Homo-oligomer: A and B are copies of this chain.
Amino acid sequence: MSHIIGKGRCISCQVRHLSIFANLSTQYLGELCDFQPTVMTYTAKEFIYRQGDSPNNAFTLRKGLIKLIKSLPDGRIQIVRILKSGDLFGFDGFAHQDYNQSAIALSDCEICHLPLAGLQKLRLQRPEIDQAMMQRWIQSLHDAENMMLDLGAKKASERLANFLVNWGESEQDGWKKMPLSRQEVGNLLGLTVETVSRFLSDWKRRGVIQERKGCIRIKDKKHLCEVINPKGTCG
């Protein structure tokens, strides 16, 4: 279950430099702090908010991973974004709109709840916040556009190979964390579990990738790049 672990101490916040407040001076960080952002923990699979809820807060993710999903009445699901440390989410309230997606913890999370009213006030005083949000806007839209291209124009293998190569970050030993289940990868890429499983099994069999307990390693990147880029040249 979720529970409060304290009021945010913005000045000493460990994800400050990743957040939209990265360029805020200590003076204004203090003011941000006065708005009483509340830090809460959530356990994996818990909802932070649901599509249709009325927003009182925006959120900054401090620890863990979150998926934003949209769902249809009959249960079909699309993951529209995966959030990592420092990401701002649930800002629909800025446009006086209800949440357009649901936010669900992928892993145990630590989330800072930012009261909308206070944030709006601070925004008007400090243009660097808007500047930071603008950067994120553009990045989010680029991500969304790339995803539309994937979903609308690419084949299953292309989407999956692209996901494996470009999602997350590898350790120096080449292994990277893969915190999504097959089902979730499917929900992200518009595929069924079975299709995801089949391609992964096939690539494992052929030595293109390796897998162990929540991690994968790409052994033959060239192969995956050729899948991604059927015509183009591959490095």
Contacts and interface: CB of A to CB of B under 8 A. Distances in A.
Given A95-B139, A134-B94, A148-B80, A154 B100 contact: no
B149 A72 contact: yes
A70 B43 CA distance: 38
Contacts of A152: 78, 151, 187, 189-190
A231 interface: yes
B190 A151 contact: yes
A123 B127 CA distance: 9
A138 B95 contact: yes
A80 B145 contact: yes
A229 to B, nearest CB: 7
Interface residues of A, number: 47
A64 B189 CA distance: 34
A232 B72 CA distance: 9
A153 interface: yes
Contact of A148 (B134, B148, B231): B148
A144 B154 contact: no
Interface of A: 68, 70, 72-74, 76-78, 80-81, 91-92, 94-95, 97, 100-101, 123-124, 127, 130, 133-135, 137-142, 144-149, 151-154, 187, 189-190, 229-232
